[in-house]
Amino acid sequence: MTAVQAQHVLKTEDRLQEMTEKYGQFETLDLIEAMVKQEFSGEIALVSSFGAEAVVLLDLVAQVDKNVPVIFIDTRKLFGETLRYRDKVAETLGLTNIISVQPDPVDVEAEDKNGLLWSRNVDACCDLRKVRPLARAMDQYAAWFTGRKRFQASTRANIPLIEQDGSKFKINPLAHWDAAALEKHMQSRNLPRHPLVEDGYPSIGCMPCTRRVEPGEDARAGRWAGIEKTECGIHIAENI
């Protein structure tokens, strides 16, 4: 690490501490508004999978500013229901700035010509189809909203509201929300629901790597079932 890089890291860490102290006790909607209109005006995006619970954060951000960039990673391996749900949610909430990103076709031709990379090397598939497309899309932003929540899995139990993630800041406005709070918000706002939830999919990713969840399992137990993988890689700091 060069001296300039080290100085940048220190400044970033100082800013993280300042924001944590300033906004750590804010209500969710107030936190979102502060990030959009004060801390990262024009420099923040919402990264959304339009999955099972995504509509809650999308709705909250839309209440602040319907034109906040919403980055949607179309891996080309998603359920058709997810693509149709994305369009329905966008229309319902009046979202005006959805940015759909896809894997580089040149990379796909070189690394996954037959479309079965997921069956041979799931980490490489996620890197090709999710991590790299998002990294390219995030180049112009300093921060991003995520919909991660502590209750979703043991690996997410300590998610902070604001964190440093590589060169970016990551804001997790729903980190402390539980399933009951999400359900209450969805009902009170009459928000559309992902059609696969009723079919036993509380967490929805790419079609080949997502299965139904059995009673008593973590909500994310259906993701990459049977292997130790629990995250696609976009939440690993050095990747974005």
Which one, of 66, 239, 40, lies nearest residue 137 by Cα? 239
Rounded to an integer, what distance in angstroms lies between the CA atom of residue 46 and that of residue 144?
5
Angle between helices 54-64 and 80-93 (to 10 degrees): 30
10 phi, psi to nearest 5 deg: -65, -40
Rounded to an integer, what distance in angstroms lies between the CA atom of residue 117 and that of residue 48?
23
SS3 192: coil
Which one from 125, 126, 206, 232 is the annotated catalytic residue?
232
**88 contact partners, CB below 8 Å, separation of at least 6:** 192
118-145 burial string, b = 16+ CB within 10 Å, else e?
beeebeebbbbbbbbbbbebbeebebbb
Reply yes or no on whether 126 is catalytic.
no
The neighbour count for residue 15, using CB atoms within 10 Å, is: 14
Query: Which H or E element spans position 142?
Result: none
Rounded to an integer, what distance in angstroms lies between the CA atom of residue 220 and that of residue 234?
16
19 phi, psi to nearest 5 deg: -65, -40
The residues annotated with a catalytic role in the active site are 232
